[in-house]
């Protein structure tokens, strides 16, 4: 990709994006600029990745074709307002701040700006992220393709409408927390059965990762894959029976409904 990429802020998620870009070779390190208020952090990132330091957020805005707003949501609008006049006409601004709508971003940047709202999740930190990409009407198909390519450099990415942001929060943004709880619970049971804890986490986590990979790579319905494991009168169907009796699927669905409702409420506020 022959574009200049700029980062304003670079927390964990910003660093995941930066690392994905570099490791995939999608963007040369010499085409990336970064600014954070901490000179030591800028220096460390530049030494680690071979990228360019910027002296200010305004400098990033002036140089980059694609600018990532990678600061905390509570200061995102302030930071963008401060660099708005330095952005080029065709610059694409990508916000990864949760809860900030395209309309709110446009009120700060102007309704003539190309803006993308993106929502990666924490597995991006291990190159296994899932990111939603939501462009406004001014973003061109080429710009969208570039954004999707960037996010696919450290996982998977799909274009979604802004109306689907709340389901994205429930099924992707917040979902790692539910999965971590499931892994922890399975490991606790294995420990109860006598397995050393470190080994229990390894078995549980690998089972979850492998199962997810089967869903993605086979295209087979999860219910059918579940049935393949459930031998008549066997151990698995016994466990499935208990999960059904305890309302496992209903609990997951209700948790996600609450999560989506909270996301919608935060978006309005």
What's the mean pLDDT in 182-196?
98
Q: Give the residue ranges of the annotated binding site.
A: 8-13, 36, 70-73
4-62 tens-digit pLDDT: 999 999 988 999 999 989 988 999 999 999 999 999 999 999 999 999 999 999 999 99
What's the mean pLDDT in 83-111?
94
Cα separation of 178 and 195, whole Å?
23
Contact partners, residue 171, CB within 8 Å, separation at least 6? 256
Residue 234, classed as helix, strand or coil, is: coil
Q: What is the dihedral of CA 115, 100, 134, 102, to 10 degrees?
A: -50
pTM: 0.91
60-84 tens-digit pLDDT: 999 999 999 999 888 999 999 999 9
Q: What does the domain layout of the chain look like in residue ranges?
A: 5-164, 172-268
CATH fold of 172-268: ProC C-terminal domain-like fold (1.10.3730)
116-150 tens-digit pLDDT: 999 999 999 899 999 999 999 999 999 999 999 99
What's the mean pLDDT in 236-260?
97
Does the pLDDT at position 269 exceed 80?
no
pLDDT number for residue 12? 87
Q: Give 164's DSSP letter.
A: G
pLDDT number for residue 154? 92
pLDDT number for residue 67? 97
Angle in degrees, CA 218, 222, 225, rounded to 5: 70
Contact call for residues 68 and 6 (beta carbons, < 8 A): yes
Quote the percentage of the chain above a pLDDT of 90: 89
Q: Give the residue ranges of the annotated binding site for NADP(+).
A: 8-13, 36, 70-73
Q: Which residues pair with 131 in a beta bridge?
A: 157
Does the pLDDT at position 244 exceed 90?
yes
Specify the range with the lowest mean pLDDT, choosing from 16-20, 197-201, 214-218.
16-20
pLDDT number for residue 214? 97
CATH code: domain 5-164 is: 3.40.50.720
Does the pLDDT at position 106 exceed 90?
yes
pLDDT number for residue 247? 97
Residue 64: closest CA among 90, 82, 85, 38: 90
pLDDT number for residue 194? 98
């Amino acid at each position: 990709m022959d574009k200049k990429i700029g980062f304003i802020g670079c927390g964990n998620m910003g660093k995941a994006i930066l690392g994905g870009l570099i490791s995939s070779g999608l963007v040369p390190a010499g085409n990336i600029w970064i600014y954070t208020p901490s000179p030591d952090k800028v220096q460390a990132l530049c030494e680690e990745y071979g990228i360019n330091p910027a002296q200010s957020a305004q400098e990033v805005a002036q140089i980059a074709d694609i600018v990532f707003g990678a600061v905390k949501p509570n200061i995102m609008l302030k930071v963008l307002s401060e660099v708005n006049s330095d952005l080029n006409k065709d610059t694409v601004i990508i916000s990864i701040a949760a809860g900030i709508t395209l309309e709110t971003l446009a009120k700060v940047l102007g309704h003539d700006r190309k803006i993308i709202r993106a929502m990666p999740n924490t597995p991006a930190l291990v190159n296994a992220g899932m990111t939603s990409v939501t462009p406004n009407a001014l973003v061109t198909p080429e710009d969208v393709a570039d954004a999707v390519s960037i996010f696919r450099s450290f996982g998977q990415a799909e274009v979604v409408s802004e109306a689907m942001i709340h389901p994205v929060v429930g099924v992707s943004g917040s979902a790692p927390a539910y999965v971590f709880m499931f892994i922890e619970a399975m490991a606790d049971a294995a420990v109860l059965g006598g397995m050393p804890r470190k080994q229990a986490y390894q078995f549980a986590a690998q089972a979850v990762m492998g199962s997810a990979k089967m869903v993605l790579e086979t295209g087979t319905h999860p219910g059918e894959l579940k049935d393949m494991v459930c031998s008549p009168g066997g151990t698995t169907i016994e466990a499935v029976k208990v999960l059904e009796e305890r309302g496992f699927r209903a609990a997951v669905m209700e948790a996600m409904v609450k999560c989506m409702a909270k996301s919608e409420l935060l978006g309005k506020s």
